[in-house]
Amino acid sequence: AQTVTQSQPEMSVQEAETVTLSCTYDTSESDYYLFWYKQPPSRQMILVIRQEAYKQQNATENRFSVNFQKAAKSFSLKISDSQLGDAAMYFCAYRSAETSYDKVIFGPGTSLSVIP
C-alpha cells in the first residue's frame, strides 16, 4: 500500500523568505500523480501544485515550485517570497495513475507559520 510522509509537523518562515516543505512517499508503481494542497485556518482546501510522475520537469506555479525526485520518492514544495497569506496547513498527496479508481492518499500535513 502506498504511504505519504511529511516529517515536519510545523515550520515557520520569515515574510519574504523562502521555505521548503518535505514530502516522501512509498509506492511500487511507476505512474502516479503527486499534489500539494493548502488548507488555511477555517478555510477550504485548495490545490497548490500538481506533478505527473512521468514528467521529469518540476512543476511550478508562480511562487510555488516542487523538487520531484522520483528515484528517491521525494516531492518537496518550495515557497518563494513567503507572504502572510501562505500561512496554512500543507498536505502532500498521492494518487495512482495505474488504477483508474484509486483513492488519494494524504500525508499528515505540515503547519506553516509566516512571521511578519
List helix spans (H) across the chain. Answer: none
Q: Give the contact letters, 48-87, x = binds to another protein (CB under 8 A), - = no.
A: --x-------------------------------------
User: Which of 20, 33, 65, 70 touches another protein (CB under 8 A)?
Assistant: 33
**Minimum distance of another protein from residue 15's CB (angstroms):** 27
Distance CA 15, CA 37 (A): 20
DSSP β-ladder status, 88-96 and 104-106: antiparallel
Give the range of 15-23, 32-40, 64-72, 73-81 binding another protein by CB under 8 A: 32-40
109 scored as a contact of another protein (CB under 8 A):
yes
Q: How far is CA 70 from CA 21, 57, 62, in A?
A: 16, 11, 23
Give the range of 21-29, 30-38, 53-61, 62-70 binding another protein by CB under 8 A: 30-38
Q: Which is nearer to another protein, 62 or 81 (CB)?
A: 62
The contacts of residue 84 (CB under 8 Å, 6+ apart) are 15, 114, 116
Task: Please report which helix (H) or strand (E) contains residue 52, including its range.
Answer: strand 46-52
Chain contacts with another protein (rule: CB under 8 A): 33, 35, 37, 43-47, 50, 91, 95, 97, 99-109
